[in-house]
Amino acid sequence: MKRTALAPLAGLAILVAGISAPGTADARSVCTGVVPYNGDLKVCHTQIQEGTKARKIKHSREGNTYFFWFGRNVVTARCLTQSAIALAAFHEGDNLACPLLNRVKAALE
């Protein structure tokens, strides 16, 4: 069940990774992760908003998905069911998506 729930974020990561930024080399990276939480969607949203605010990480929100932009690189966080926050990151640099994702993940744990 969790694999099915994570499919949209994995698709987003693949789509974003396929976008070529002008003037950049092909060194792009993607990363995914999960942060557990207990409660309803309101608890999830509160956890994301308060955790990232404490770390001064700004976000925009579209439905249950949060976008954290770092220049042209992005981390998404999406509230799933009543037990997990799914994370996905895209970075233009090689092997830099996971460190970026971990920055947001640390704010949510």
Mean pLDDT of the residues in the chain:
84
More confident residue, 18 or 101: 101
Residue 52 has pLDDT above 60, yes or no: yes
In this structure, the dihedral spanned by the alpha carbons of residues 54, 55, 60 and 63, taken in order and rounded to 10 degrees, is: -60
**Distance (Å, whole) CA 14 – CA 8:** 10
pLDDT of residue 85: 95
Could you tell me the two tokens for 90? 């895209």
* Residue range 53-97, pLDDT digits in tens: 999 999 999 988 999 999 999 999 999 877 899 999 999 999 999
Going by the DSSP 8-state scheme, the letter that residue 96 receives in this structure is -
Q: 67: which strand partners?
A: 60, 76
Could you tell me the two tokens for 93? 């640099």
Q: Which domains does the chain have, with CATH numbers?
A: 2-108 (3.30.310.50)
pTM, entire model: 0.75
How many helices and strands (H and E) does the chain possess?
A: 3, 5
Could you tell me the two tokens for 5? 């729930």
pLDDT of residue 82: 78
Residue 17 has pLDDT above 50, yes or no: no
**Distance (Å, whole) CA 22 – CA 25:** 9
Residue 3 has pLDDT above 60, yes or no: no
